[in-house]
Structure 1
């Protein structure tokens, strides 16, 4: 009888749990708490768990309840009752726990993705595009360990212009918005605001650059492949509404009487001295004002009467032939520079006094706008003679280039020579086989054009 009583099961007690050692068999509770067990691991940690048969497939399952003594015996028994009620309803606690872990991981991943998306703002998108595509950059070569220089997709001027465009009109407006949240409406509203301030062409440029930034991010996997690019959608919207975001093809040129009025007004105009010199040289050569702004003294040869342009719009270097009048004009500027800088010639002919770099071509257009709209400038400093020449229709600095080309044709200059003077690339099969640069012919016809300008002023 005593032997039988010694083998009777006893209810779990805190004292019995505390006495458990590593390697002891699991202890089980009895009665209404049957199924509650305690195990002691190799480190001596004691854990409660619920051992039961799954109501789903009949397999044996174990559900972890907690570690003793953080979870007391009474607390474990309360939890056991909850789990038994759950099981009685046909739910497997272990399966439910595992599903909760899966759902938690999914929710955590979604939260991380949302944080990442929220952190990837339009500002970040623009910087990614500028740093990886547009601008020059340095990277570490993993093979050699050396710093490798990679040229950007644009020249230095284009790099700064692209950065200025995107920062002024995109980052300023949409910069803090997560990329994933920007809609077609947001982009359309931004472009419409640019158009409304009278900058339709700028709106087109902004839209084009923003679209390229989106496409790059999609291409490198920063955005999903099926991401609805709002810039493309906005572009389609403008096309559907027949709003053009490009400049009209230029047709303005100056006839002889207008050329006379401009050349006589230019010395007394509100343009700076360097601007006046640039415009005067443009009338003699037909060169782009941006090319003249970047001219260096080392590229001018007074003896040969040439000016070498290293970088042009079509990326083809060329020699510009200079008329006698243009050479004399440049010599006077050259001598004044030597005098002003004590014999040390500056690098650039038309440089900024503050940066010593070439003055920017856009300053010509900005000054032209101020001269034409003095009433819009607070405390403007221009006299009645200096403001814009209102006796003729409006014109721009680039119209001078069209004026020279048209004037050469009127004088009888052959088409191929006139195009060579302007530095235009030959098209089609002609560009493949006719590689003659017409330098002698250009010199002859530019001198004829200079003579014609002199005749216009004298009459």
Structure 2
């Protein structure tokens, strides 16, 4: 191979020196360096391409010729060396992006972009608690690397709490759908959370006194309602008023505790409690309306009495919400049940 080192040194930026015995091999010049390159017609799409080989004088002419022969052989075999190099770099970049998009980031995106926008405060807190508690094993892994067995193992480890497992399964399925829709995961990534353990995460019902009582729900009989009403005077005014409103209005405890004076109005056909849509369970539904509840009998008497005592919330409390939480009522009633072991233990300690 004839090579003129003096001519190579005199090359100006943008100029090149052809190597006659090696078709396509050239020495190109820039402001900073001189580099060996192989220019050829791509066998893939017929376009002219150029691939860098090395720098001169670090790479000697004989070494450049050896590298050129290898590239030319690949080209003659139908490969496009420059295109292959470009695709390899793109694959590395894609791999880094895939590795960077972890399960933790995917869940954070879902919580911020969907849950925080469309859910209430209690639901937002519960979703964060659930994911924070159960995802440690896979949180820092690439979301794309999660396999069917990974999803199965996680849900299987929660078999003792099937309701929580079922909730987490649904939320992770929604999170993966959210990432796929947003283009943060390739379309080829399967959403295993929608497929594994389907129909197998079923609650066995709550336990009462150490005995499973099943999942069947029932209503109080007339006799039981009578017993409850006779039992009311033993309760505090707060609990008694709340339980009475449960019975007389059939409204959820969350809405009863958040009742406000301005929501109570006397109309031509009697007294009405108008619960704003934003306070109801249907708040997320576009076509839902305010909930209208008639107030009669003991329910009306309780509301009038509390309206005379309080402005704003009728069940006020020094909490962040400004009113008593529904859990306070449920817990207070549960502690008075005969099957409540905590209450029994407390009585034995007295």
Q: Which residue number in structure 1 is paired with residue 202 of structure 2?
A: 244
- When residues 209 and 302 of structure 1 are mapped into structure 2, their CA distance, relative to the original with a 3 A threshold, is same
Q: CA deviation at 1:62?
A: 1.0
- When residues 42 and 80 of structure 1 are mapped into structure 2, their CA distance, relative to the original with a 3 A threshold, is closer
1:167 to 115, 119, 128: 128
Q: Which residue number in structure 2 is paired with residue 125 of structure 1?
A: 106
**Cα deviations by residue, 1:366-402 (Å, 9 ceiling, x for unpaired):** 555565675469x98x658xxxxxxxxxxxxxxxxxx
**2:317 is aligned with 1:349:** no
Q: Is the 8 A contact 2:317 2:324 kept in 1?
A: yes
- When residues 133 and 231 of structure 1 are mapped into structure 2, their CA distance, relative to the original with a 3 A threshold, is same
- When residues 225 and 76 of structure 1 are mapped into structure 2, their CA distance, relative to the original with a 3 A threshold, is closer
Alpha-carbon distance in structure 2 between the residues aligned to 1:206 and 1:77: 59
**2:114 is aligned with 1:114:** no
Alpha-carbon distance in structure 2 between the residues aligned to 1:111 and 1:68: 28
More helix by share: 1
Q: Is the 8 A contact 2:163 2:201 kept in 1?
A: no
**2:326 is aligned with 1:361:** yes
SS of structure 2 residue aligned to 1:62: strand
Q: Which blocks of at least 5 consecutive residues in structure 2 are unaligned?
A: 36-55, 206-213, 283-287
SS of structure 1 residue aligned to 2:259: coil
Q: Which residue number in structure 2 is paired with residue 35 of structure 1?
A: 3
Q: Relative CO higher for 1 or 2, CA cutoff 8 Å, sep ≥ 6?
A: 1
- When residues 289 and 192 of structure 1 are mapped into structure 2, their CA distance, relative to the original with a 3 A threshold, is farther
- When residues 90 and 253 of structure 1 are mapped into structure 2, their CA distance, relative to the original with a 3 A threshold, is closer
Alpha-carbon distance in structure 1 between the residues aligned to 2:250 and 2:58: 96
Q: Which residue number in structure 2 is paired with residue 326 of structure 1?
A: 299
SS of structure 2 residue aligned to 1:135: helix
Q: Which blocks of at least 5 consecutive residues in structure 1 are unaligned?
A: 1-32, 137-153, 338-344, 385-459
Q: Which residue number in structure 2 is paired with residue 457 of structure 1?
A: none
Alpha-carbon distance in structure 2 between the residues aligned to 1:316 and 1:255: 32
The number of equivalent residue pairs is 303
Alignment of 1:88-103 (within 5 A): 92=72, 102-103=83-84
Q: Which residue number in structure 1 is paired with residue 225 of structure 2?
A: 259
Alpha-carbon distance in structure 1 between the residues aligned to 2:324 and 2:19: 84
Alpha-carbon distance in structure 1 between the residues aligned to 2:315 and 2:231: 21
**Cα deviations by residue, 1:47-76 (Å, 9 ceiling, x for unpaired):** 9x671434xxxx3531459999999xxx84
Which entry has the higher C-alpha Rg, 1 or 2?
1
Q: Is the 8 A contact 1:86 1:93 kept in 2?
A: no
Alpha-carbon distance in structure 2 between the residues aligned to 1:302 and 1:78: 95
Q: Is the 8 A contact 1:348 1:358 kept in 2?
A: yes
Alignment of 1:3-82 (within 5 A): 34-37=2-5, 38-42=8-12, 51-54=19-22, 59-63=23-27, 76=57, 79-82=60-63
Q: CA deviation at 1:103?
A: 4.5
Q: Is the 8 A contact 1:308 1:318 kept in 2?
A: yes
Alpha-carbon distance in structure 2 between the residues aligned to 1:357 and 1:320: 22
TM-score by length of structure 1 reads 0.54
Q: Is the 8 A contact 2:244 2:298 kept in 1?
A: no
**Cα deviations by residue, 1:12-70 (Å, 9 ceiling, x for unpaired):** xxxxxxxxxxxxxxxxxxxxx72344152446x999x671434xxxx353145999999
Q: CA deviation at 1:215?
A: 1.3
**Cα deviations by residue, 1:147-204 (Å, 9 ceiling, x for unpaired):** xxxxxxx3xxx3334422332222433233321122333333333444413xx33332
C-alpha root-mean-square deviation of aligned residues, in Å? 4.1
